Amino acid sequence: MRRTTFKILFYIQKTRIAKDGQAPILLRVTVNGQRVVLSVNLKVNPKNWSAVAGRSIANSRMDDELNARLDTIRLRLMQIYREMEIDREEISAQKIIDKYLGRNSKPIIMLLDVFREHNERCRKLAGNGMSPATVERYETSYKHTAEFIDLVYNKKDIPITEVDHKFITDYEFYLRTERKCNHNTAVKYLKNFKKIIRIALANDYISKDPFVNIRFKLEEVERDFLEDHEIKAMIDKDITIPRLAQVRDVFIFSVFTGLAFSDLKGLRSEHLVRDNNGDMWIRKARQKTKNMCNIPLLDPARLILEKYKDHPECVNKGVLLPMLCNQKYNAYLKELATICEINKEVSAHTGRHSFATSIALANGVSIENVAKMLGHSNTNMTRHYARVLDKSIKRDMALVNSKFSEETIATGQ
């Protein structure tokens, strides 16, 4: 790579001496032999000017201030040159002068403008390649970012070029302190924000990735699931509050089918299929991954569908279950857990985990079949749901005990 030559020269324009005897000072920047000349709007008495030093050699206060301003201009030009070198930009005299004068060839791109444009695209893709839950998560991420900028920078938005390493670390601190996010939640929001930065890099809005040397890792979380006696307690509980009774039924349906919240919400009659033996199945592509779920419709789930087949909401919307929004559903589940004396953190996803663990794996269903019912592409994903229950250990060890007892008896010992 050819070495760049860079020179700065201040000189006076002797052909344009003013009536007061002052000559204008010009700046000449030379890069690889190419020159650009600029007036710096300063004047000096030609008698006091040193062409060799490029400054005034008089000792007056006015000349000292003049030299200080020339030094400031020189330092700023050198700083611009160094930054362009570090960023591996193409360097020319004109580009250096343009940066010095604040002439930016690119329009100023604001961070939240990029975020809003991304979210608008996501909204248009909702239900067509992107789940509504993902769209909602980006909306929440945008809201947190806007609040962070308002709190820390006291602005409604900032140029995306101002997003640096410190911005990222300060934003993470804000999420953990002001927003009270746990580790995994904060990481998810930062990953959402990182996508906006990737868009900015791809569109050449920024030249450096502020996420360089920043790594995020989700912590393994042991999610709660309901055991048999807790599922039974919830089914048998006499609930007189209609909203809680409805949420209980939807949750129990999830426990016996393994369907996630978004899949419960979109469950329709066309997803019920009867096989050659007359048994009913749920065959539905997952909202999140589009992987097909194949789930036998167990009696507890079938009875719940019978209960709500004439429900006004189900009839009007063409769905099989009356569903609330995710926020209310989770809030009511916590209330329901308290009423049923279940001391666990119960959420929408608890039903899916309970199906995989207590209904399927604990009763001898192979992990391969559980994967097919959950709509997983491989069993590695399903192992995340796998739990070893005491009754499973007891069942398996009972077989071992029986074998050795028979051998003991057979040998007469």
Q: Which two tokens stand for residue 312?
A: 């006004």
Sign of the C-alpha dihedral computed for residues 154, 186, 129 and 329 taken in this order: negative
Q: pLDDT grade, residue 334 (50/70/90)? A: very high
Write the DSSP symbol of residue 68: H
Q: Report the Cα 288 to chain-centroid distance in Å.
A: 16
Greater confidence (408 vs 122) lies with 122
**What is the tens place of the pLDDT at every residue in 114-167?**
999 999 999 988 777 777 778 889 999 999 999 999 999 999 999 998 999 999
Instruction: Give CA–CA dist 254/216, Å, rounded.
Output: 32
Q: Report the Cα 215 to chain-centroid distance in Å.
A: 13
Strands 6-12 and 23-31: antiparallel
Composition of the chain by helix, strand, coil, percent to 5 = 55, 10, 35
Q: pLDDT grade, residue 410 (50/70/90)? A: low
Q: Which residues neighbour 210 within 8 Å (Cβ) at sequence distance 6 or greater?
A: 163, 164, 165, 167, 168, 197
Q: Which two tokens stand for residue 52?
A: 């060799």
Based on the number of CB atoms within 10 Å of its own CB, is 72 exposed (0-12), middle (13-18) or buried (19 or more)?
Answer: exposed
Residue of 207, 115, 195 lying closest to 158 (CA atoms): 115
Per-residue pLDDT at 88: 81
The answer to whether 377 and 291 have CB atoms below 8 angstroms apart is yes
**What is the tens place of the pLDDT at every residue in 49-64?**
999 999 999 889 999 9
Residue of 159, 117, 168, 160 lying closest to 138 (CA atoms): 117
Q: pLDDT grade, residue 1 (50/70/90)? A: very low
Write the DSSP symbol of residue 377: S
Q: pLDDT grade, residue 390 (50/70/90)? A: low
Instruction: Give CA–CA dist 344/234, Å, rounded.
Output: 13
Based on the number of CB atoms within 10 Å of its own CB, is 118 exposed (0-12), middle (13-18) or buried (19 or more)?
Answer: middle
Q: Report the Cα 315 to chain-centroid distance in Å.
A: 36
Task: Give the mean pLDDT of 257-283.
Answer: 90
Residue of 216, 113, 117 lying closest to 168 (CA atoms): 216
Q: Report the Cα 88 to chain-centroid distance in Å.
A: 30
Instruction: Give CA–CA dist 382/178, Å, rounded.
Output: 35
